[in-house]
């Protein structure tokens, strides 16, 4: 009898040992590339936090096609070379069938050749340089707006904002350079005079020389494109130099709540283009989902000011999960094909891809919701022209 029991147990162990690696219970790996250290680390970590919420929500509902989601996260250290290396690691070492990344446009552009080399799709959650989708990489699917789309979103408010002459100050990256081009073109089309265009390196902390030049132009508006850490410094240094100008930040990475905390009175009156309004979740396309995301974020003790970046992580992972669900399997080519069929509403709003780029090598581009908020009396408010 004992021999029979031992024999049965041995057979069971052998059976477990030969279960194929692709068993339905094996987790689905999704790669994530974000700047978790370096000059823009705050933003990258907020995106990671949002991605973790999406993972946990999906897994709590039984996962995708009965399998749990596992995030494999790589730090690109705010550096394009590191982003390319991270993409290769995730694909070759970790065998991920899809990636979300890589925050900055320069980092995303550096990782993109690896996608084409190995045939793995990436959902781009933040980058806004036009070249991300214009370059001709069919493995790229972007849910954030390119700078041109963002500029078009603001165009309808230029008259109400009273912009007559504008200067630009931007981070010296693909994102910053592309933003100046896109917003400059839109303003010229509107008959607005375009003045100085100044740049700052991503790690720079002293922008006084650029502010001095801008101060001398006599413009009424400054378009500012960089991450929240540098925006804070520019606002403070501008206040010290008594720069009196309407400030409009672009790219949705300003985190107005953080600016109020860190820049204080220097942030007063500034306008910010954002893609999520956690202060008014009910005004989002899916108010119930937006409110649930804000509540979950708060419950986890994540800083409120990170919500304007964190939603990107949620929507990026939700997009990949939806594509895997449609594909019915976690294979790169099947996910790439399924991404063209994705149609659902994320925290930002509807996500659905249209072709962008050279014929035969088009990337996917969704049309995100775009909003404008203002810092008024030390709080984030809807400008009068945005109120219903």
Sign of torsion over alpha carbons 315, 316, 317, 323:
positive
C-beta atoms surrounding 361 within 10 Å = 14
Alpha helix stretches (DSSP H) within 119-255: 131-134, 147-155, 158-161, 174-189, 208-215, 228-240
Mean pLDDT of 45-62: 98
Whether 28-145+285-365 and 149-274 share one fold: the answer is yes
Instruction: Express as a percent the part of the chain with pLDDT over 70.
Output: 94
pLDDT band at 25 (very low <50, low <70, confident <90, very high): confident
Q: Report whether 37 contacts 78 (CB < 8 A).
A: yes
pLDDT band at 77 (very low <50, low <70, confident <90, very high): very high
Checking if the pLDDT of 253 tops 90, the result is no
CA distances, 222 to each of 71, 190, 340 (Å): 39, 16, 38
Element (H, E) at 197: strand 193-200
Note the pLDDT of residue 309. 96
Q: For the domain with range 149-274, which CATH number is right: 3.30.465.10, 3.40.228.10, 3.40.50.2300, 3.30.9.10? A: 3.40.50.2300
| Angle (deg, nearest 10), helices 208-215 and 228-240 | 60
Mean pLDDT of 91-104: 98
Checking if the pLDDT of 2 tops 50, the result is no
The verdict on whether omega for the bond into residue 312 sits within 30 degrees of 0, i.e. cis, is no
The helix/strand count (H/E) of the chain reads as 14, 16
Q: Per-residue pLDDT tens for 269-328?
A: 999 999 999 999 999 999 999 999 999 999 999 999 999 999 999 999 999 999 999 999
pTM: 0.90
| Domain residue ranges of the chain, discontinuous segments joined by + | 28-145+285-365, 149-274
Alpha-carbon span 330 to 324, nearest angstrom: 6
Alpha-carbon span 75 to 127, nearest angstrom: 16
Tokens of 157: 């408010």
- Residue in the block written with tokens 């996962």: 63
Q: Per-residue pLDDT tens for 211-224?
A: 999 999 999 999 99
Tokens of 345: 């509403």
Sign of torsion over alpha carbons 145, 151, 156, 158:
positive
Class of domain 28-145+285-365: alpha beta
Q: Per-residue pLDDT tens for 319-366?
A: 999 999 999 999 999 999 999 999 999 999 999 999 999 999 999 999
Enumerate residues 6+ apart whose C-beta is below 8 A from 292: none
Closest listed residue to residue 135, CA positions, set 115, 109, 103:
109
């Amino acid at each position: 009898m004992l021999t029979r029991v031992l024999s049965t147990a041995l057979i069971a162990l052998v059976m477990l040992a030969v279960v194929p690696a692709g068993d339905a219970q094996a987790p689905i790996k999704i790669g994530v590339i974000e700047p978790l250290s370096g000059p823009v680390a705050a933003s990258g970590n907020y995106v990671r936090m949002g991605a973790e919420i999406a993972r946990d929500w999906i897994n709590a509902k039984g996962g995708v096609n009965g399998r749990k989601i596992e995030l494999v996260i790589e730090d690109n250290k705010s550096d394009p070379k590191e982003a390319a290396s991270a993409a290769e690691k995730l694909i070759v070492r970790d065998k991920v069938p899809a990636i979300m990344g890589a925050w900055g446009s320069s980092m995303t552009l550096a990782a993109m050749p690896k996608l084409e080399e190995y045939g793995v799709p990436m959902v781009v959650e933040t980058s806004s340089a036009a070249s991300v989708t214009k370059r001709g990489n069919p493995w790229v699917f972007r849910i954030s707006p390119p700078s041109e789309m963002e500029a078009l979103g603001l165009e309808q408010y230029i008259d109400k904002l009273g912009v007559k002459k504008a200067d630009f100050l931007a981070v010296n990256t693909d994102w910053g350079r592309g933003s100046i081009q896109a917003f400059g073109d839109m303003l010229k089309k509107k008959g607005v005079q375009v003045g100085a265009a100044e740049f700052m390196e991503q790690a720079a902390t002293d922008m006084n020389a650029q502010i001095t030049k801008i101060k001398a132009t006599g413009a009424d508006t400054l378009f500012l494109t960089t991450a929240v850490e540098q925006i804070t410094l520019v606002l403070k240094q501008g206040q010290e130099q008594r720069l009196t100008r309407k400030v409009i930040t672009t790219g949705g990475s300003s985190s107005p709540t953080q600016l109020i905390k860190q820049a204080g009175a220097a942030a007063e009156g500034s306008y910010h283009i954002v893609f999520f309004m956690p202060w008014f979740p009910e005004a989002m396309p899916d108010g119930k989902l937006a409110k649930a995301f804000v509540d979950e974020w708060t419950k986890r003790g994540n800083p409120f000011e990170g919500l304007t970046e964190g939603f990107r992580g949620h929507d990026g992972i939700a997009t990949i999960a939806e594509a895997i669900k449609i594909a019915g399997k976690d294979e790169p080519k099947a996910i790439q094909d399924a991404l063209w069929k994705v149609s659902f509403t994320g925290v930002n709003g509807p996500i659905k891809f249209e072709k962008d780029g050279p014929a035969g090598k088009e990337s996917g581009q969704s049309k995100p919701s775009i909003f404008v908020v203002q810092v008024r009396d030390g709080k984030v408010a809807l400008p009068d022209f945005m109120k219903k």
